[in-house]
Amino acid sequence: MDGVIALYKERGMTSHDCISQLRKILHMKKIGHTGTLDPGVDGVLPICIGQATKISELLMGSGKVYRGSITLGVAYDTEDLDGRLIAKRPLNEPLSAEKIDELLAKLTGDIMQTPPMYSAVKVNGHKLYEYARKGETVHRDPRPIHIKSFKQIKPAVFDTQAQTQTIYFEVACSKGTYVRTLAVDFGKLINMPAVMSSLTRTKSGGFDISQCVTLSQVAQAAADGQLKEIVESLTTALDQYPVYQLDDRHWQIVSNGGFLDQELSPSRAPIVRLDYQQQTKALYQLDDQKQVYRPFKMFLANN
């Protein structure tokens, strides 16, 4: 079976836990996710199975959308509530909605972000969280990210007793963005400790949370012989690419890994999807130098 399962990852599970359980349910080893979600984060986790594992990096490269909250007045070493409280400062009065919008806007567009110490980014051959767990802090180079939008989704709540304020947001961002670091950076704009107090991924890899199924639903579908009902085809997963329907002659060329004339796509799209008999068989990439389309990703056994 080849395709993508739009899985809803529950909180308390790691992405690896999901893969491990799916291997048992599906009795398959060729399974991969499209970008980890922290245990405390729930939401969309596209799972590639069979030949679809070849497109996992393409799905990972697509933009993501999250909904969550930022709490001002407290800070944690992990930048979320799973860590240790490291700072606390009362917020004397709540930020207005207009001020919040102004600050969120400052964190949009092309920005540089420093990865958090509690992350899997490697420095000198070791993951940052390995240093962090030993109480060490190492230099991290800022990395470019793109924040398409960062906005409020409902009125912020001010806790008069704790003197904290919780802001509810939706953010659309590029691959490699740490949303919990965005929360901390929001606080820095007004010199206040801040923490990402909740997070749900609502879109990833072209899939929306409304399309997701749970592990228990996958297990039930497998038991009922209905897996095809919940596995999205390669055609669906790759529907963002322009498609070319292969005739028998072109299929013979593609099935042997041959090049195709650039006229395959009059618009000279960088990548095209090749379908044969209603099945996606390959992605081909434009080679400007040779003026041909050449193999990029092959799914010849997909049927």
Alpha helices in the chain (DSSP H): 15-26, 56-60, 97-106, 128-133, 179-188, 215-223, 234-237, 248-255
Task: Give the C-alpha separation, 127 to 71, whole Å.
Answer: 27
Taking only the tens place, the pLDDT of each residue in 41-99 is: 999 999 999 999 999 989 888 889 999 999 999 999 999 999 999 999 999 999 999 99
* Share of residues in the chain with pLDDT > 70 (%): 100
Q: Quick count: other Cβ atoms within 10 Å of Cβ 277?
A: 10
The tally of CA atoms less than 13 A away on the side-chain side of residue 75 is 18
CATH topology of domain 64-203: Pseudouridine synthase (3.30.2350)
* 216-247: pLDDT as tens digits: 999 999 999 999 999 999 999 999 999 999 99
**Phi and psi for 66 in degrees, rounded to 5?**
-130, 155
Q: Which of these, 201, 169, 219, 216, lies nearest to 35 by C-alpha position?
A: 201
Q: Mind listing the pLDDT tens digit for each residue in 106-121?
A: 999 999 999 888 888 8
Is there a catalytic annotation at residue 248? no
- The phi-psi region of residue 122 (left if phi > 0; otherwise alpha if psi is between -120 and 50; otherwise beta) is beta
Band (pLDDT 50/70/90 cuts) for residue 303 is low
Instruction: For the chain, give the mean pLDDT.
Output: 93
Averaged pLDDT for residues 198-226: 95
- Residue 153: other Cβ atoms inside 10 A: 11
CATH of domain 3-61+205-235: 3.30.2350.10
Region(s) of the chain under CATH 3.30.2350.10: 3-61+205-235, 64-203
Nearest to 133 by CA among 124, 114, 151, 120: 120
CATH number of 241-298: 2.30.130.10
Residue limits of CATH 2.30.130.10 in the chain: 241-298
Tell me if residue 119 falls in helix, strand or coil: coil
Catalytic residue among 2, 17, 38, 110: 38
Residues 25 and 213: their CA atoms lie apart, in Å, by: 14
